[in-house]
Every structure is written in structure tokens, then in C-alpha cells.
A and B are shown apart, each in its own frame.
Chain A
Amino acid sequence: MNKKYLKNTLYAVLLLAAFTVVHYSCQDSKNLTTGDEAAKVYVPPGTYDDFYLFTSGGFSGQVGVYGLPSGRLFRVIPVFSQDPEKAWGYSEESKPMLMTTHGFIPWDDAHHPELSQTDGVADGRWLFINGNNTPRIARMDLSTFTTAEIIEIPNSAGNHGSPFLTENTEYVVASTRFSVPIPNKDVPIKSYKENFKGTISFVKVAKDGAMDIAFQILVPGFDYDLSHSGKGPSHDWAFFTSYNTEQANTLLEVNASQHDKDFIAAINWKKAEEYAAKGKAKTVSADYFINRYDEKKHMGVSNKKTSVKVLLPEECPGMIYYLPTPKSPHGVDVNPTGEYIVAGGKLSSTITAHSFEKMLKAIENKEFEKTIDGIPVIKYESVVAGEVQNPGLGPLHTEFDDKGYAYTSNFISSEIVKWKVGTWEVVDRIPTYYSIGHLCIPGGDTKKPWGKYVVALNKITKDRYLPTGPELTQSAQLIDISGDKMKLLLDFPTIGEPHYAQAIPADIIMKNSKKIYKIEENQHPYGIKAEKDARVVRNGNEVHVYMSTIRTHFAPDNIEGIKVGDVVYFHVTNLEQDWDIPHGFAVKGAPNSELLILPGATETLKWEPKAEGIYPFYCTDFCSALHQEMQGYLRVSPKGSNVKLSFGTGK
């Protein structure tokens, strides 16, 4: 009896022990490391990372610049959102960059960074990113890491499928997530099927980067989601996913999930280009802004345009086809050879890969199942190349490595699956923490993937970092893909929500990185080239202060004769020509931000003093040993006072 009791107790203890081991080893599996990860991500002090990683800032509207493999954040490039640190959207020069037909908009939702390409390979000249909410595309210059241009996309709502590029950066594309009445008008929402349309825009990128809308294609009122252009043999084509082919206008989570297949729109942009050139396009009045930053004038200029060219599919045969694709497809990704068009059917249990070659044959043989508004729908069997079975739940996006493998993110099952292009078999999978959206392999959406790493861009972090109250950091995870098995190396936090990211070998970009702006090339109308030109000029109630900064003083640093009711413009030129010596400028009570003026640049702060008194100003960027001495005074006198305008430094 006693023996049996003992035995049972022993079993119970063993069972508990086994459970404990299993339980804790399971818990540990999410932190599973083998010990050499630290060495693989360690970039010793004073040495450089191998790759730049550009992440979208999501609803922060900015772009994050990180190094790989360290995951260190170097810079936040202000794009669509005001940034008081850099006076972006606060300085008079940068305000025009945020102009839209809806007025000045100091925010947007930035999703997809795309590096400019030459012959299908990322070339590091520019980075494009879309503004989702008020449809826009921004172009950043990667010699200065600043926003050089923002173009508004008319006849659009929800610029999600953007800014994907053709192989030589001929075009950057934009498709509408929301279909809307075009032109926009007051109609019942229930008239969706009758009145709502989508557009797919091709924005021409000039040799110097300047963007303008070449043409728009009016398409049926679905939700257009994501895009990628062809490469190599499929060079002339661009592909766009769509969902809500049900054309629901309410409760889309149910109503837009009914069809077994939605569509990938395949557009022959070369043909569209020809049609537009042949005068097939209708010129439609549509207002939009092009805002360009002139690097020599150090100034953004807004230019309002009033019309676009629109092509209609029914009038342009051969320009656009639909490829049926299961099921509410999200990402559409083209493999490096340009042959396979891979769709992440987010509600599908498989990943679909279409064949470009089959598509051309099907078009030739007219293997169509129907036509929608002039767009032939190719039979699924005629275009599909293969399906990846059991790829995980909620496949979203696919990137490619340099060895013929594809990597697909699965949001619901929170994992990346690796599969072989051509055989469609899954060869490896790795969990992500948690709920991965996009993923990024250096060059992973181009003709030339550099491979080495995949970066998981996650939506949820929960217990991965020290808690910071209800709002937690966003995060990325670095995974080594150099071997047969994927290996988690590093978690690192990111700004905003990192939707998509792009990575590129560091040397391609760093060799072009500017150190200063040349003062002799400064063409700012209120800039000065030397301290002797510093002055204050009154023009009615407008006062222009031509101010210079150099270590360690402002000129002028004493200004009198400003009156309540004046509008004062401080045009501050940083005369420094030394690397990494910006000066800041801040005035007490100024209701906008500081200025941060880079060597050789001029920036302007507008200030309307409301009350008389003495107003100090100072340099905000610790510039030198006597930074704390870099200060000045403004005297503001009452309206109508006879204090004479005077100014100087050291007098």
C-alpha cells in the first residue's frame, strides 16, 4: 500500500518535472539562441554597418534609416510630417513641401520605401515613399538624406499601391486603395457600383528625379492594394493586386471576402505610354501639387497643376488584363528573373505564382473567361505556374534571395516561410514576434538580391521589450538567411509602424553622401555669403533679418527697432564649411520651432512679436566650446515707437 503510494507519488513528481521541462523549454524557444548571434550583429564602435536599411515610419509619416546588421538608428528623414528637430514643415523654406489641394497638411501615413533602380538593380540615388492618406509620393535625395520632392496624386484616395518602380526608374506607380467618384462629387455611398472608380497612375521620373504624372488609367471600382513592376522579360509590365472585387462599400471585412478569387491587374505600361503619346488619353481637369526642393536655393517651391491625361481600358486594347488570384491578394512580388508573379492571398491557404510566359501565351490565344469594363480576365489555369501548399496562415509579402528561394511573410501564423521558386515546396520556416507584415531582403524585390538577411517588420511586440505603458514600440527582427536554416539574430525597435523597408549595401550610398552645402553655390534669395553682408531691412511692417552664423556668434546679435505688429523673417545662413557643424536658431516665444541650419544652407523662421520687451535668441545645436556664448538679444518696442532700426555684432 505504502509502496504503491510512493510509486504514484514518484510518477506524479516525474510527470510534473517532465511538464515543467517541456513547458519552460517551449517558453524558451521564443528566445532560442545558439550563442554566436551576438558576434554576427556586433559592429564594433567606430566601424560601419554593411547595409543601410530604410524603414517606413508608418503613421509617423517619416522614414527611419538604420544600419544592418546592428539595427542602429542613424537618422529620421522628415517626409510628410512636421519635424521640429529639423524645422521641417516649420521653416518658411520647407512649408511649401507639405502643400496639397487640401491646403497645408503636416502629416501622412507612409508605407513603402523604394530605392531608385538602374537596370533593375537598386542604385542608391533616391528613395521614394508613398503618402497613403492624402495621396502623395515623396522622393528623397540620398546624397543629403532629405526630401527633395512631394507630388500629390489626383483622382485617388488611399495611395497604398505605391511607389513601386519600373526597372530604370522610368515610372513610379500609384494605385487607389479606395475607389471614389472620379471626379469627386456628392453622391450616395450606396451608389458605389455605379459611381466609384479606381485609378492607376504612372508618374514619370525625369533624369534629375523630377516627377510628374504621365497618365492615369481608369479602372473598375475595386480596392487596389500593392504593386511591383516586371523585370527582364517582363520589363514592360507592372502588376497590381486588387481586393473587394465584390465592390462592397460597408463592412468590408465580410462583404469584401466573398469571392474565391480577386484580381491582379497586369498593365503593359509601354503600351499605355504609346496610347498616351498617340493622343488616346483624355485630358481631364484635376488639381494637384508638385512641391520641389531646390537644393541651390535651399527652398521648396509649390507648383499647382490642373489636369491629367486619363486612359480608358476599353479604348486601349492590350494595355491591361486581370489575372484571377485567390483570395483578397495583398502583396504582388516578381522574382529576380521576372518570370513569376507571386501573390500573397491573405485569406488563401496557398501562395499563388503566376507565370509571365503563360500570361503572354494566354493573351495571344485569348484564353479569357470574361471581360470587365474592357479588361479581359485571363483564365486562372492559363496563367498560374504553381501554388505553394501549406505556406502558413495569412501570406502577405514575398521577397527573394540570390539563391532561387522566396520568403513569404505570414501575418496570422506569425512566421516567415522559405520556399523554392519553381518547385513551390516549403523548405524552412521561422516564427516572428509578432504578426509580421512586410519583410525585406537587401535587393529582395529587384533583379539582384544581395541576400544575407531577411528583416521581419512586425505589427505587435507585446513582451519583446521593456514595457512602456499601453503604447509599445514597433519592431523589426533580423534573420540570417545565409545558411539552409533561417536563424534569428536580433530584435530592434523602429519608429512609427515599419510597413515596408529596403536595404542596400552601404558603399553604394555612402560614397555619394554630401558633407556640406557649398556656400558659394547658395542661391537663396535671402542668403548671405559673408558676415559683412549681415543686415536688417525694414519694408513696411515686414522686417527681414539677413543673419549669419559661424562659430561662435550670430551676426547681427543685437537688434533694436522691431515693433509689435511687425512680421519678422530671420533668414539665417550658416557660413560654416566644416563637416558636421550645424547651428541652431531659436527665439523665445516663437510659436513654431527652432531652425537647424546645415553648413552652407539658409533657413527662415517667421515670427510675429506680440508684446514689447527683450527677446533672447540662441544656438540650439552644441556647436563648439563657446556654444553657450552663441546668443543674442532682440528689442521689441510698442507699435508706433520711434526706436530706430539698428543692429550689430561686437559693437
Chain B
Amino acid sequence: MKHKSKILVIIASLILILSFFFPLWKVNLEAPQYPEGLGLEIWLTKVTGQGENDLENINMLNHYIGMKKIEADAIPELKIMPYIIIFLILFGLTAGISGKKTLVSTWLILFFVIAVVGLYDFYLWEYDYGHDLNPHAAIKVPGMAYQPPLIGSKMLLNFNAISLPSISSWILALSVLLAAAALYLDRKEKLNTHV
């Protein structure tokens, strides 16, 4: 690989460090009674509220429909995810420094697979929280489930749940793009030299 491409792959790996410092996903809950906003943030390592007490207030509201408490401790993925990202950083650095195209390609494919599995896992959790409801809940609406969308918005009783990727997801996407660009540039330059 050319020098420029190697640098790009190294940058792509290093910016992943930033993903520890921002949320991956945001779920905003909009309702007339919450003009100040209410919402969740999903991070690599934790689930938090957007406001100081949002998480407990969401759990409080959810008890009416019999939803389980959303707690970081109950989600083992939050303990695994940081290691996966660290692995990706180290792998990416190795690939970038060595400049081996196959390594970079492997890294990209692995990254992609992890992202898809991660999203599917997120979907499964949303499904679980939305469907596994206490049968003795105060509010039971026949046929109603409370699964927020993966991306987009959905009315869940009085709440409009809006789920969107946040900064860390964009960092991951940028990392993928940079690595892909590195491969592309490398290929282009090779074509040029062949001509």
C-alpha cells in the first residue's frame, strides 16, 4: 500500500477511540407532558438518560405498561463492546502499519459484520423490551407492543419514539469510509502506474 493509504487506515483506526466518548444511538421520547424532552442514549459501555434523571423517569413510566427496567447491568453486550472496539483499533493499526491490503480488506469485512451483528443485537433488545411485558401491568392495550424502531419514529401510546444513530455511530461510519477510501485510492494509483 502507498504511504497515503496507510495513513488513512491508521487514522480510520485511531478515530475509533473517540467512539468511547459519545453515544452510539439516541432514542427520544416526545410527549405533550415532556416539553423539556425525555430520552435514552446508548453508549459502547452504558445506557443513560439524556437528562440527568431521564433513565429512571423512563423506567418509571414504563412500569405502567409492564416493561422491564432498562439497566446497564442487565445488558452483557455493554461489557463486551469496548473489547470489540479495542480489538478493531489494534487490528486496524496493524493493518495500516503493515500496509497489507488483504489485512485492510479483512479488517473492513470484519468491521462490517460486527456492525450488522451489533445492529441486529440492538434490534433484539428493542424487541425484548417492547414485547416481554408484565402480564399484571396497569395499562394493557390488546395487540400493543412497545418496541421502538431501529431508525425512525413510531407512536407508542402518548409517546412518539424517535430512534436515530448518534455521534459514535457516525465515527464508526467515518472509520469504515476512510478505510474504504484508502483501498480505493491504492487501487486507483496502481491502475495509473500500470498504464
User: Is the pair B138, A626 in contact by a Cβ cutoff of 8 Å?
Assistant: yes
Q: Of all chain B residues, which has the CB nearest A600?
A: B53
Which residues of B102-154 have CB atoms within 8 Å of chain A's CB atoms?
138-139
User: Is the pair A550, B64 in contact by a Cβ cutoff of 8 Å?
Assistant: no
The reply to whether the CB of A577 lies closer than 8 angstroms to some CB of chain B is: yes
Q: Indicate whether A551 sits within 8 Å of B53 (C-beta atoms), given known contacts A579-B36, A626-B138.
A: no
| Candidates A550, A577, A629; contact of B53 at CB < 8 Å | A577
User: Is the pair B60, A516 in contact by a Cβ cutoff of 8 Å?
Assistant: no
**Contact-residue bracket for chain B:** under 10
User: Is the pair A550, B36 in contact by a Cβ cutoff of 8 Å?
Assistant: no
The reply to whether the CB of B189 lies closer than 8 angstroms to some CB of chain A is: no
Contact residues in A for B138 (Cβ distance below 8 Å) = 552, 626, 629
Q: Of all chain B residues, which has the CB nearest A515?
A: B36
A147 to B88, CA, bound (A): 58
User: Is the pair B36, A551 in contact by a Cβ cutoff of 8 Å?
Assistant: no
| Candidates B57, B64, B139; contact of A577 at CB < 8 Å | B57
Q: Of all chain B residues, which has the CB nearest A46?
A: B35
Q: Indicate whether A577 sits within 8 Å of B56 (C-beta atoms), given known contacts A625-B64, A626-B64, A626-B138.
A: yes
User: Is the pair A578, B60 in contact by a Cβ cutoff of 8 Å?
Assistant: yes
Mask: chain B, 36-70; 1 = CB below 8 Å from A; 0 = not: 10000000000000001100110010001000000
Contact residues in A for B56 (Cβ distance below 8 Å) = 577
User: Is the pair B64, A578 in contact by a Cβ cutoff of 8 Å?
Assistant: no
A551 to B138, CA, bound (A): 12
Mask: chain A, 562-581; 1 = CB below 8 Å from B; 0 = not: 00000000000000111100
Q: Of all chain A residues, which has the CB nearest B38?
A: A578
Which residues of A529-565 have CB atoms within 8 Å of chain B's CB atoms?
550-552
| Candidates A551, A625, A626, A629; contact of B60 at CB < 8 Å | A551
A to B contact number (C-beta, < 8 Å): 19
A516 to B53, CA, bound (A): 10
Contact residues in A for B64 (Cβ distance below 8 Å) = 551, 625-626
Contact residues in A for B57 (Cβ distance below 8 Å) = 577-578
- Measured CB to CB, the closest approach of chain A to B56, in angstroms, equals 6
A576 to B57, CA, bound (A): 8
- Measured CB to CB, the closest approach of chain A to B178, in angstroms, equals 42
- Measured CB to CB, the closest approach of chain B to A649, in angstroms, equals 14
- Measured CB to CB, the closest approach of chain B to A530, in angstroms, equals 11
- Measured CB to CB, the closest approach of chain A to B59, in angstroms, equals 11
Q: Of all chain A residues, which has the CB nearest B35?
A: A46
Q: Of all chain A residues, which has the CB nearest B56?
A: A577
A82 to B60, CA, bound (A): 34
A552 to B64, CA, bound (A): 9
Which residues of A496-539 have CB atoms within 8 Å of chain B's CB atoms?
516
Contact residues in B for A579 (Cβ distance below 8 Å) = 36
A552 to B60, CA, bound (A): 10
A538 to B127, CA, bound (A): 48
A551 to B64, CA, bound (A): 9
Contact residues in B for A550 (Cβ distance below 8 Å) = 60
Contact residues in B for A552 (Cβ distance below 8 Å) = 138
A629 to B57, CA, bound (A): 20
Contact residues in A for B53 (Cβ distance below 8 Å) = 516, 577-578
A525 to B92, CA, bound (A): 56
Contact residues in B for A577 (Cβ distance below 8 Å) = 52-53, 56-57
Mask: chain A, 618-639; 1 = CB below 8 Å from B; 0 = not: 0000000110010000000000
A551 to B59, CA, bound (A): 11
Contact residues in B for A625 (Cβ distance below 8 Å) = 64, 139
A626 to B138, CA, bound (A): 9
A92 to B56, CA, bound (A): 30
Q: Of all chain A residues, which has the CB nearest B63?
A: A551
Q: Of all chain B residues, which has the CB nearest A624?
A: B64
A577 to B38, CA, bound (A): 13
Which residues of B19-38 have CB atoms within 8 Å of chain A's CB atoms?
36
A577 to B57, CA, bound (A): 7
Q: Of all chain A residues, which has the CB nearest B52?
A: A577
Contact residues in B for A516 (Cβ distance below 8 Å) = 53
Contact residues in B for A551 (Cβ distance below 8 Å) = 60, 64
Q: Of all chain A residues, which has the CB nearest B57?
A: A578
A578 to B59, CA, bound (A): 12
- Measured CB to CB, the closest approach of chain B to A529, in angstroms, equals 12
Q: Of all chain A residues, which has the CB nearest B139?
A: A625
Q: Of all chain A residues, which has the CB nearest B58?
A: A578
- Measured CB to CB, the closest approach of chain B to A123, in angstroms, equals 26
Contact residues in B for A626 (Cβ distance below 8 Å) = 64, 138
Which residues of B55-97 have CB atoms within 8 Å of chain A's CB atoms?
56-57, 60, 64
- Measured CB to CB, the closest approach of chain B to A188, in angstroms, equals 65
Q: Of all chain A residues, which has the CB nearest B61?
A: A551
Which residues of A203-226 have CB atoms within 8 Å of chain B's CB atoms?
none
Q: Of all chain B residues, which has the CB nearest A550?
A: B60
Mask: chain A, 379-397; 1 = CB below 8 Å from B; 0 = not: 0000000000000000000
Most buried by B among A552, A576, A577, A578: A578
A511 to B129, CA, bound (A): 37
Contact residues in B for A576 (Cβ distance below 8 Å) = 60
Contact residues in A for B60 (Cβ distance below 8 Å) = 550-551, 576, 578
Q: Of all chain B residues, which has the CB nearest A629?
A: B138
A551 to B58, CA, bound (A): 12
Which residues of A21-55 have CB atoms within 8 Å of chain B's CB atoms?
none
Q: Of all chain B residues, which has the CB nearest A580?
A: B33
- Measured CB to CB, the closest approach of chain B to A598, in angstroms, equals 14
Contact residues in B for A629 (Cβ distance below 8 Å) = 138
A415 to B112, CA, bound (A): 79
8 smallest A-B Cβ distances: which pairs?
A577-B53, A578-B57, A626-B138, A551-B60, A577-B56, A579-B36, A578-B53, A577-B57
Listed in ascending order, the chain A residues whose CB lies under 8 Å from chain B are 516, 550-552, 576-579, 625-626, 629
Contacts beyond the supplied A577-B52, A578-B60: 5 A-B pairs with Cβ under 8 Å: A516-B53, A552-B138, A577-B56, A577-B57, A578-B53
Listed in ascending order, the chain B residues whose CB lies under 8 Å from chain A are 36, 52-53, 56-57, 60, 64, 138-139
Some 18 contacts from A to B, beta carbons below 8 A apart, are: A516-B53, A551-B60, A551-B64, A552-B138, A576-B60, A577-B52, A577-B53, A577-B56, A577-B57, A578-B53, A578-B57, A578-B60, A579-B36, A625-B64, A625-B139, A626-B64, A626-B138, A629-B138
